């Protein structure tokens, strides 16, 4: 997670102070609700609305994003391909998801876009992820970048109208 955060922040030139305004959470399978689990992706992004417990003047409801890592799918990919290693694949998946989150938070992409636009955005994010990780000297990452060069859908996006 730390590697992915650093890579994403560096790519978008986000300072530490600015990074605090990117509202997201990352959870693994054991902490996901049933409706946050999918069999068709390495991760799924869900948007939630949060209303602060104490409403101060000017403070209102805000959105945050939950990156739901699908451990079972990630582990299955590693078991299926003996050259694929967990750490570089994990860095790739989390970086990819953080690129989405940053783009949503910076209003570079609408979370609730239509299917065709979501597919285009997926390809943009995939290309950004490839560029952002391209110069990272992480062992076995080159294999992941090559293996997923043409991978179209890394995650699913789901909008939740849940207020927490």
In three-state form (DSSP H/G/I as H, E/B as E, the rest C), the secondary structure along 59-73 is: CCCEEEEEEEECHHH
The pLDDT, as a whole number, for residue 160 is 46
Total-model pTM: 0.85
Confidence (pLDDT) at 57: 57
| Residue spans of the chain under pLDDT 70 | 52-61, 151-164
Dihedral over Cα of 49, 55, 60, 66: its sign: negative
CA distances from 66 to 54, 84, 106 (A): 22, 26, 16
Q: Check if the beta carbon of residue 37 is closer than 8 Å to that of residue 46.
A: no
Domain that includes residue 47, residue range? 2-163
pLDDT of amino acid 138:
93
CA distance from start to end of the chain: 24
Q: How far is CA 151 from the centre of its chain?
A: 15
At 62 the pLDDT is 76
DSSP string, the chain: -HHHHHHHHHHHT--HHHHTTS-EEEE-GGG--GGG--SS-SEEEEEEEE--SS--TT---EEEEEEEE-HHHHHHHHHH-TT--HHHHHHHHHHHHHHHHHHHHTTSS-TT--HHHHHHHHHHHHHHHHHHHHT---TTHHHHHHHTTT---SEEEEEEEEE-
Q: What is the total count of domains within the chain?
A: 1
- What is the per-residue pLDDT for 12? 95
Which strands make up the sheet holding 43-50, listed edge to edge?
A: 24-27, 62-69, 43-50, 155-163
């Amino acid at each position: 997670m730390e590697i992915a955060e650093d890579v994403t922040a560096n790519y978008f030139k986000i300072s530490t102070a600015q990074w605090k305004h990117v509202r997201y959470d990352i959870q693994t399978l054991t902490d996901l609700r049933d409706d946050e689990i999918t069999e068709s992706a390495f991760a799924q992004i869900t948007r939630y609305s949060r209303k602060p417990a104490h409403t101060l003047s000017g403070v209102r409801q805000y959105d945050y994003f939950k990156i739901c890592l699908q451990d079972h799918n990630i582990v299955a990919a590693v078991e299926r391909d003996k050259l694929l290693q967990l750490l570089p694949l994990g860095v790739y998946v989390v970086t990819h998801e953080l690129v989405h989150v940053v783009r949503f938070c910076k209003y570079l992409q609408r979370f609730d876009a239509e299917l065709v636009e979501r597919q285009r955005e997926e390809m943009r994010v995939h290309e950004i992820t490839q560029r952002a990780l391209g110069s990272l000297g992480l062992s076995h990452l080159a294999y992941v970048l090559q293996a997923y060069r043409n991978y179209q859908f890394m995650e699913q996006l789901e909008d939740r109208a849940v207020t927490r």
